[in-house]
C-alpha cells in the first residue's frame, strides 16, 4: 500500500493525516481498461484530495476523505502503446466548513502528495499467475488460434473465476474471462470460444 512520506523533522502529530492508496499500483492491458482503487485516510483529520495525471482520466478528480475513512476511485486507460506512468494525489487538511474540495486547493496551503505507479501489460509480459487452470486455459486459447482444427476443444471454455497477476512487485486482480479476451484482442486475434 502506497503511503505518503513526511520530512524527518516532523513529529508524529504533525505527520497526520496519512493518506494511502490500495492497491498501490495500477496495471493496464494495451487495449485499455479501468483500474479501481481505494484512498484511505488513516489520520485524525479530514483531507481534500486532488488527482493529477496527464493521460489517464480519473473519477473523481477532487474529493474529501474523512478521518478514518476511505473513498473509491476509478482510473481509465484508453487503448495505446505500452508505457510507464504515474498518478499523483495531492492532499491537504481541511475542516467540516469546507464544502467544495476544489476550493480547498485554491488556498496557499502547500499540499502533501503520494504517487501511484502505473504500467502496461502486453501479451509478451512474463506474468506469475495464481490460478490452477490458467496455464492450461491460456495454452488452449493460443492453440485454438494458431491451430484452428483444435478450436472446438472443450478446454477452450473460459472459467468465471478471478486471478491475481504479478508484474514486478505489484499485483492486480482481473476477471479471468476478461483477461483472456483482452490478451487475444491485443494480439488482433479473437478465437471462437465455447459458451459456458
CA–CA gap between residue 190 and residue 184 (Å, rounded): 6
pLDDT given at position 122: 67
Alpha-carbon dihedral 56, 62, 68, 72, rounded to 10 degrees: -40
**Residues 32 and 102 grouped into a single domain:** yes
List the alpha helices (DSSP H) in 33-191: 101-104, 134-146, 176-186
Contact yes or no for 11/3 (Cβ under 8 A): no
**Same domain? 145 vs 172:** yes
Residue 64: which pLDDT band, with cuts at 50, 70 and 90?
very high
**Whether residue 9 is found in the same domain as residue 95:** yes
pLDDT at 50 over 90: yes
80, 99: one domain = yes
Of 121, 149, 172, the one marking the end of a domain is 121
Span 155-193, pLDDT tens digits: 434 444 444 444 444 444 444 444 445 544 444 444 444
For residue 149, give its domain range. Answer: 128-186
The total number of structural domains that make up the chain: 2
Of 27, 29, 47, 33, whose CA–CA distance to 114 is shortest? 47
Amino acid at each position: 500500500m502506497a503511503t505518503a512520506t513526511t520530512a524527518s523533522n516532523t513529529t508524529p502529530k504533525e505527520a497526520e493525516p496519512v493518506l494511502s492508496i490500495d492497491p498501490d499500483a495500477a496495471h493496464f492491458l494495451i487495449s485499455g481498461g479501468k483500474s479501481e482503487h481505494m484512498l484511505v485516510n488513516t489520520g485524525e483529520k479530514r483531507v481534500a484530495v486532488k488527482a493529477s495525471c496527464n493521460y489517464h482520466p480519473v473519477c473523481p478528480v477532487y474529493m474529501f476523505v474523512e478521518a478514518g475513512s476511505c473513498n473509491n476511485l476509478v482510473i481509465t486507460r484508453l487503448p495505446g502503446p505500452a508505457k510507464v506512468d504515474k498518478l499523483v494525489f495531492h492532499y491537504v487538511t481541511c475542516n467540516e466548513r469546507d464544502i467544495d474540495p476544489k476550493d480547498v486547493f485554491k488556498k496557499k496551503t502547500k499540499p502533501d502528495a503520494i504517487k501511484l505507479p502505473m504500467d502496461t501489460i502486453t501479451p509478451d509480459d512474463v506474468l506469475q499467475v495464481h490460478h490452477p487452470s490458467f496455464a492450461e486455459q491460456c495454452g488452449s486459447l493460443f492453440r485454438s488460434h494458431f491451430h484452428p482444427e483444435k478450436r472446438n476443444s472443450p478446454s477452450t471454455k473460459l472459467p468465471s473465476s478471478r486471478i491475481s497477476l504479478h508484474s514486478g512487485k505489484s499485483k492486480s486482480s482481473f476477471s479471468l474471462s476478461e483477461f483472456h479476451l483482452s490478451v487475444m484482442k491485443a494480439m488482433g486475434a479473437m478465437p471462437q470460444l465455447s459458451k459456458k
